[in-house]
A = this chain, B = another copy of it.
Amino acid sequence: MTAAPRPLRADAARNRRSLLAAAADEFAERGLDASVADIARRAGVGKGTVFRHFATKDDLLAAIVIDRIDALDAIGQRLLSAPDAGAALLEFLTAAAHQRQQRDLSFLQEAGDISAEVTQTRTRMFDTVEKLVERAREHGAIRTDVTGADVILLMCAPNYVVSYVPNAPPDLWQRYLAIIFDGLRPAAAHPLPYPAPDLAG
């Protein structure tokens, strides 16, 4: 499907790369409403060039988001065959938080349903998480009443929480990931007052 009709010209490919990098940085610093003009300037490129490569600002965002989600999914896939299922889940969450900390990717979630491709990629990653959770549950590493959806939702909480600390040290998220993960352990085990949601809707 969608076989690449033509290879990209050398300068175009180079510009595309700097554009993606600049956009990721700019979005990370300024949030979802970083301006296209600033992104272009940061990439050392005219504003028109941005729109040649990405029809819309949202398309640019989608390209970045898909890239990140795919990277996360790959990590998850690999961890599916790790020996300790509980440690694997924790490591996945650590990787996710770490990725979001390098460049604050809170916008990754804010960017809801930008395109069908984003939705699709995200669904793929959700599946992987579901499997990780199931495995951890079977091994008794996490309580039986939490689902993949729960973990997906809680996944970004550490970064969110830390984002309200003025000059936060870069690894502070580890503290809150630890607390939340402790809440997922069987030892915690107080009954949950509400059923888990279905993220497919």
Residues of A within 8 A of B (CB): 109, 146, 150, 153-154, 156-157, 160-162, 164-169, 171-172, 174-176, 178-185, 187-190, 192-197, 199, 201
- Alpha-carbon gap, A162 to B157, bound state (A): 10
Q: Which chain B residues lie closer than 8 Å to A164 at the CB level?
A: 109, 153, 156
Q: What's the nearest-Cβ distance from chain B to residue A188, in Å?
A: 3
Q: What's the nearest-Cβ distance from chain B to residue A132, in Å?
A: 17
- Alpha-carbon gap, A189 to B146, bound state (A): 19
Q: A175-B196, A179-B192 are in contact. List 10 more A-B contacts (CB 8 A).
A: A146-B179, A157-B180, A160-B160, A166-B199, A174-B194, A175-B194, A180-B180, A185-B188, A187-B187, A188-B188
Instruction: Flag if A153 contacts B176 (CB, 8 Å).
Output: yes
- Alpha-carbon gap, A78 to B178, bound state (A): 31
Instruction: Flag if A153 contacts B165 (CB, 8 Å).
Output: yes
Q: Which of B156, B172, B183, B194 contacts A188 (CB 8 A)?
A: B183
Closest to A157 in B: B157
Instruction: Flag if A197 contacts B165 (CB, 8 Å).
Output: yes
Q: Which chain B residues lie closer than 8 Å to A156 at the CB level?
A: 161, 164
Q: Which of B160, B167, B187, B199 contacts A201 (CB 8 A)?
A: B167
Instruction: Flag if A179 contacts B176 (CB, 8 Å).
Output: no
Instruction: Flag if B194 contacts A171 (CB, 8 Å).
Output: yes
Given A166-B201, A167-B201; A178-B193 close (CB under 8 Å) = yes
Q: Which chain B residues lie closer than 8 Å to A175 at the CB level?
A: 150, 192-196
